[in-house]
Chains A and B, each alone.
Chain A
Amino acid sequence: MHQPPPASFCSSSSSSGGSSCECARVGVRVSALAPAAAPCPAPRRLPRPRQPEPPSRGTSTLLPARLGPWCSPTGSPAPLSCETGCGEGSWILVCRLLVPTQVSLLSMEEDIDTRKINNSFLRDHSYATEADIISTVEFNHTGELLATGDKGGRVVIFQREQESKNQVHRRGEYNVYSTFQSHEPEFDYLKSLEIEEKINKIRWLPQQNAAYFLLSTNDKTVKLWKVSERDKRPEGYNLKDEEGRLRDPATITTLRVPVLRPMDLMVEATPRRVFANAHTYHINSISVNSDYETYMSADDLRINLWNFEITNQSFNIVDIKPANMEELTEVITAAEFHPHHCNSFVYSSSKGTIRLCDMRASALCDRHSKFFEEPEDPSNRSFFSEIISSISDVKFSHSGRYIMTRDYLTVKVWDLNMENRPIETYQVHDYLRSKLCSLYENDCIFDKFECVWNGSDSVIMTGSYNNFFRMFDRNTKRDVTLEASRENSKPRAILKPRKVCVGGKRRKDEISVDSLDFSKKILHTAWHPSENIIAVAATNNLYIFQDKVN
């Protein structure tokens, strides 16, 4: 397998002159992609990680797309604080990361010149298979790493580009760090059911040593993965030669001490724990406890508590399965531990309720400590009231004082001290309220959108349809709608706020409700823990945006 020349990116100085070098940086299957046609003057500063073995999925490769020459540095980098909110700053596209499949690789081989690759096969996502659809996105606790999981059971970890004085504008770029197959499709012979390998959630553990740890889960099994770097290898074995073949002991006349020699950086992922066979129903959430020793996994009817060290046992802490399944009217939709109190957690339900539980009260937390529910608005009552009240995501604020919930049409912020109603309600796409019947018919009403806080809990973000996502500034009460799409974004260009026209005269830049594409939904987003960098997943595309402060 030949190795391409070290991947490199053009520095700003070369690109501003007009000769655009469209370098393709290859992540994993290095032989499949042709190297850049023209040598690039400025090699990358980061050592390029190399995988020890190709992913079992075979043919996919990661390719950060460069849609055009980078613009020259614009000035001071974005401030490290996240106080700018969403209204005052503007958002720019940092990079779009795409996972092509074998189909696109074949078409690429015909077109060796990477300059032509630019917009040709990347134009629409119809090349991608369903396995590449991103199903979860998560930053780690420092924001240095960004993990995505997809429907094909694969986890891809991106690493933040390190800052350098020369390439200040490259801050905020993420590049492939590691790829591995986390879950494989399984067949449950007992029930004659296939278990999907789709990664439902990824959660990082806080870093305690040089290695990174994350939990990834599909419908049934949670796995703990260790991602570590290796940049030295031992050389000079006595019993093996350099290729690893055993040496005839009779030929050994001297002994030597193996020494560690530097090698090219290699990132390897190994499964350290497999937590299986504890969930009858589909796992929808995992949450690491603040004690860093336990975590919970929640399915439709039960929540289990695990110790990281023990894989053959878990404690059931919530069980809402009725004795008579015919009486089932409510399921668990999401769960999360309190960020600071290791005894508290919340879980949400399909009826729009949130329960806060305290594990100190009893071993089985079927009785809640607090019960959050907003009374139904009689003016908005319809047959679909319950469906649209079903909570699809619940997130504690970083402070631990608030929880945010996402139902079909709104995002709500609750104060833990007030159970009878939320303190804030934000309309995500209220123009859909009159279309609920159609959305019920095409099942879009069952879509599960996630929501995220920014690092300072001042801005919240969630996705919508037509590749739109929305941000709400809790302080200024301003909100913005942005679009994550290839057609409308050049790198470093400022994202233009979008507006949906609900009736009356449609202005030039507005889009009418009837023109929205309901197959393009932003379900998964993530916000950097301390900076204004966001990751937005749109089918198989991962967009990374950064705020641009002049």
Chain B
Amino acid sequence: MMLSKGLKRKREEEQEKETLAVDTWWLDPSLPAAAQAPPPATSSSLFDLSVLKLHHSLRQSEPDLRHLVLVVNTLRRVQASMAPEATLPPVPRPSAAPCVADSLLASSDAALSASMASLLEDLSHIEGLSQAPQPLVDEGPPGRPAGGSPPSLGALDLLGPATGCLLDDELEGLFEDIDTSMYDSELWAPASEALKPGPEDGPGKEEALELDEAELDYLLDVLVGTQALERPPGPGR
């Protein structure tokens, strides 16, 4: 980037304005791909951004754990600051939002924490599969999600009021985004069968706008249950 010439700031207020206004200095094509939106100054836009980042991170075949944890923690902070406001519409728009992100925003939390929980559980299960010569093999409990209502999934409680809903097409869109290659491999054959009913049942469940708690619990149980399978390390080790 070239040095800017003739750029003079005469007054302090101009400088102040600059931080709030849309500044495009970071929209350099050489920079990593970023959302082409103006830098968000409000909590809700930061929330959107963090959700996008989280999904992008989850989409990786092997997400960077540090990046994931930092984004989740930031999302939690943002949500905590938004709690007093009614941020989540109780019923998502009936017409399927064209953008997955938008639909996720409307009812993001349950889906988000579900996918987040499932991914972190996958990570722990993967570790169970690939047991290396470690003296401490004690993995503790397979990590069933903290029981109770789907909105509160342990420390990843990203939800406020328990109004999170999983629209069926949103659920499908959610699974579309997630890289399911690890579910497609041979070892996961039973699991993939269990998962597929989710998206595939989508059209059938169109009448029901909500996935009730029991169904969400079932879904999570399926995810966690497959992770309890113990298998010896493969030949590749």
Contacts and interface: CB of A to CB of B under 8 A. Distances in A.
Interface in B26-70: 26, 28, 30-32, 34-35, 37, 39-41, 43, 46, 49, 53, 61-62, 64-67, 69-70
Contacts of B144: 324
A315 interface: yes
Given A329-B155, A515-B3, 19 more contacts: A189-B234, A190-B237, A279-B132, A282-B64, A301-B65, A325-B117, A325-B143, A326-B153, A326-B156, A327-B156, A328-B69, A331-B69, A383-B78, A383-B81, A386-B73, A441-B34, A441-B35, A514-B7, A518-B31
Contacts of A515: 1-4, 25
Interface stretch (B118-126, B164-172, B205-213): B118-126
B26 A323 contact: no
Given A190-B233, A192-B185, A442 B31 contact: yes
A350 B133 contact: no
A292 interface: no
Nearest to B72: A329
Contacts of B77: 383, 386
A313 B133 contact: yes
21 contacts: A192-B61, A193-B61, A277-B132, A277-B133, A278-B133, A282-B64, A316-B136, A325-B143, A326-B146, A350-B66, A386-B77, A387-B70, A437-B41, A437-B46, A438-B25, A442-B26, A444-B32, A514-B7, A515-B4, A519-B28, A519-B30
Interface in A264-307: 277-282, 300-301, 304
B81 to A, nearest CB: 8
A438 B45 CA distance: 12
Contacts of B145: 324, 326
A319 B140 CA distance: 12
A469 B35 CA distance: 29
The A interface, classified by DSSP as helix, strand, loop or mixed, is: loop
Contact of A505 (B8, B46, B135): B8
Interface in A422-439: 434-435, 437-439
Interface in B199-218: none
B65 A282 contact: yes
Contact of A438 (B23, B32, B121, B127): B23
List of 8 A-B pairs having minimum Cβ-Cβ separation, nearest first? A323-B140, A325-B120, A326-B154, A277-B132, A442-B34, A280-B127, A514-B25, A300-B65
A511 interface: yes
Interface residues of A, number: 63
A354 to B, nearest CB: 16
Contacts of A279: 132
Contacts of B23: 438, 514
Interface residues of B, number: 75
Interface in A363-400: 364, 383-384, 386-387, 390
A453 to B, nearest CB: 24
A191 interface: yes
Contacts of A304: 134
B136 A191 contact: no
B133 A191 contact: no
A437 B26 CA distance: 11
A229 interface: no
A109 interface: no
Interface in A146-203: 188-194
A319 B134 CA distance: 12
B141 interface: yes
Nearest to A330: B69
B136 A443 contact: no
A191 B182 contact: yes
B219 interface: no
B117 A326 contact: yes
Contact of B26 (A281, A438, A446): A438
Contact of A280 (B1, B12, B126): B126
Given A190-B233, A316-B135, A504-B9, A331 B66 contact: yes
B26 A518 contact: yes
Given A325-B121, A326-B117, A384-B74, A193 B237 contact: no
A353 interface: no
A508 to B, nearest CB: 10
Contacts of B120: 325-326, 328
Contacts of A316: 134-136
Interface centre among A278, A279, A326, by most B CB within 10 Å? A326
Contacts of B139: 323
